[in-house]
Every structure is written in C-alpha cells, then in structure tokens.
Chains A and B, each alone.
Chain A
Amino acid sequence: MASDQFHAKLYQNFTTFFDKAEQERRWNPYRDVPWDRINPETPEFVATCAETFLGVESFLPDYIRKGMEAVRASSWAQRSFAANWGYEELKHSVALMEYLMRSGKRSQEQMFDFQAKLMEQEWKRPFDTARQMTIYGTFQEMATFVIYLRHEALAKQYNDEALAAVYRFNARDEIAHARFYEDVVKVYLEEDRPGTLSDIAHVAKHFEMPGVGIVPDYDARIELMREHGHVDRDIFLQKVYFPVLKYLGVTRQELVDVAKRERDERRAAQAAQ
C-alpha cells in the first residue's frame, strides 16, 4: 500500500498540473485553429500523415477505459489526471478530423468509414499496473510530442498554417502529459526505487507505440511518417529515451544491472525446476 507521502505528492503534482492546464492550455479546436489558412495545395502525403495521427488518437475510448482501469485504485491524483487526459486527447482527434474534412482531403463519409474501420480493432493495454502504465505514458507522450513537432515543421514547410496550428496545440498537450507522468514516476522512484527501476527496464524493453497492429496499413503509414517527419530510432534515443532518463535521475547502468539481476534470477529458477 502506498504511503501517505506518495498520495500527498501526487495530489500536489495533479493540482499544479490541472491549475496550469486550466489557466494556460485550454483551446477550442473549432475556434482557435486558423481554419481560413489551410493550404489547398498541401500534398496528399501530408494528409495521409494527419490521417495516421487521427487513426491512433481515435482509439481514445479504449485508452480511457483501460488506462483508467489501471490507475483507478492507485490514487485520486492519477484517476483525476486520467479523466482530464481523456478530454484533452479528444481535442486532438477532433482537430485532425476537422483538418482533413475542411481541407477537402477527405469527405465526411470517408471519415465516418475510417472511424468504423478503426473500431473493428481494439487497443490492448500493454502493461498491467498503474506504475508500469505511468512509465509507458512517459515514453509514449514524449515520443508523440517529438513526432507532432516534426510534423508541425513539415506543415509549415507547405505553408499550411491550419495544420501547423493543429500539430502545435496537440504537441503542447502531449509534453504537458509527459511531464506529469515523469513527475509521478519520480514519486514512484522515491517510494520504491528498485521496483520502479525494474518496471522502467521492463516497459522500455517491451515498448511499442499505441497504433501498432490496430491502425489499418500501419506499417506503410509509419514508414511515410518516419520518412517525412525524419523520426527514427536515433531520434527516439536522443529526444525521448535519454532525456526521460536524465529527468528521472536514472542511469543506463542502473537499468542494465536490473535486467542482469532479473535474468540471473530467472535462470536460477529454471535451473532449480
């Protein structure tokens, strides 16, 4: 059972986060995006990338339900954050879908068909515990932030100010989410460093971005996004993995030691059978 200190720290983290979100980060996808500055000449591949983002964001019902299940019993702060997260993430798919329709790249009917196709699949939560899902959220939100920023630059390249604004608003939310998750992981590290290090190593080893296997034509779509967003594994290391570890005060060597210890324990258990 978590300590009173754990709950108190998370309470503080959430109230700071939520207050700042209410004051500084609320935006209206219908009114705050400069929809009159869509570039009708933006190439189709840019729209396909936006559609891929939409595809991933559209599994929101699964993310909300299964994410909340993981944290529901953990702390008031985490389930309150999960509720707010759902609202903030909703705006991402709203804005992306509006862009695709208002730009003329997709019809409303195509968007409804796309949504129906997506809902034939279901996102499976990759990890079971609140702590593991928080660590997962740290890497995943940070990676999404980096990718959105790169695609904002791409949209600007094509003078599509509306799409650039969508990506900028979305990115701003994602980094706020990543920072909250990071701060929660720091509290977990204070509460139980060995256990949290073990979970960080485990999550990192098995990490996958959420759209894998559930967004139609995912591999081809991701190849396009990587090519035009200039995102590869080195960018993940440089912009996501190393900065997160540094913020958490966790070294690579600690994770290597945890992995080795667990491997040795597993082998010893197998040998004893």
Chain B
Amino acid sequence: MLRRAANLSGDADISASQGDEKMDRPELLKTFQRMATEIAEKDFGHVTEEHVIADLGIDSLGMLELVGSMERELKIAVPDEQLVGIQTVRQLLDLVEKRTKVLA
C-alpha cells in the first residue's frame, strides 16, 4: 500500500511561510508542489492539476500528510470524510480552496 519516495540529495532548504488563508489558484498549486517536494524529498515542481495523485507515487496516507501540511499552512481544517475519493491534484485543490473560502 505505501511506497517510499526516493531521497533527493542536495535539495534546497524549503521553509514554510506563514501563508495568507486566501490564496489564488496558482498559489495553491505552488503550495501543493512545495509541500509535496518537502514531504517526499523529490521534486514536484512540474506537477499540474491534471495529475493523478497516485501516479505521482503518493499513496493515500502520503496524501493525508500532504493535506495536513496544507491545512497547517493555510490554517484550515478539512473534515476526514471529505478526503475520501480524492484522486487528482485538482480535486485536492478544490477541497482546500473551498475550505479557505469558508473561512473568508
């Protein structure tokens, strides 16, 4: 079920910024790319919304870690039941964006 992501040696220092809760879509995607790169220690800078998350080598529990990191960064909370059925980056960003708009 779980696959290990390869270590990327010499990766740049990535520091999470105190993000504004309201982000536009390209910024949300960049946040996703940054979080995925940090967690998996593999470059996800090329990822688009069309990508299927499992095809990126991120399994279901890896996805939860990614969502959790985005929740922390954006100061939002996604109910567990809404995380079921998320297959693509687009679906994940839709979910996160919706929560940021709920807070707005």
Contacts and interface: CB of A to CB of B under 8 A. Distances in A.
Interface of A: 204-209, 233-234, 236-238, 241-242, 252-253, 255-257, 259-260, 263
30 contacts: A204-B2, A204-B61, A205-B61, A205-B62, A205-B65, A206-B4, A207-B61, A208-B1, A209-B1, A233-B1, A233-B54, A233-B59, A233-B60, A234-B60, A236-B60, A237-B60, A237-B64, A237-B80, A238-B81, A241-B60, A242-B80, A242-B81, A253-B68, A255-B68, A256-B64, A256-B65, A256-B69, A256-B72, A259-B39, A263-B38
Contacts of A209: 1
Interface of B: 1-2, 4, 38-39, 54, 59-62, 64-65, 67-69, 71-72, 80-81, 83-85
Contacts of A234: 60, 84-85
Task: Identify whether the interface residues of B are mostly helix, strand, loop, or mixed.
Answer: helix
Nearest to A257: B72
A225 to B, nearest CB: 14
Given A236-B60, A263-B38, A255 B1 contact: no
Contacts of A260: 69
B97 to A, nearest CB: 19
Contacts of B67: 252
A238 B1 contact: no
Residue with the greatest number of chain A CB neighbours at <10 A, chosen from B1, B38, B39, B71: B1
A58 to B, nearest CB: 21
Contact of A236 (B1, B4, B39, B65): B1
Contacts of B64: 237, 241, 252, 256
Nearest to A236: B60
A205 B68 contact: no
Contact of B71 (A233, A253, A255, A259): A253
A205 B61 CA distance: 7
B2 A208 contact: yes
A237 B68 CA distance: 15
Contacts of B71: 253, 256
Residue with the greatest number of chain B CB neighbours at <10 A, chosen from A252, A253, A263: A252
Contact of A241 (B39, B61, B85): B61
A252 B2 contact: no
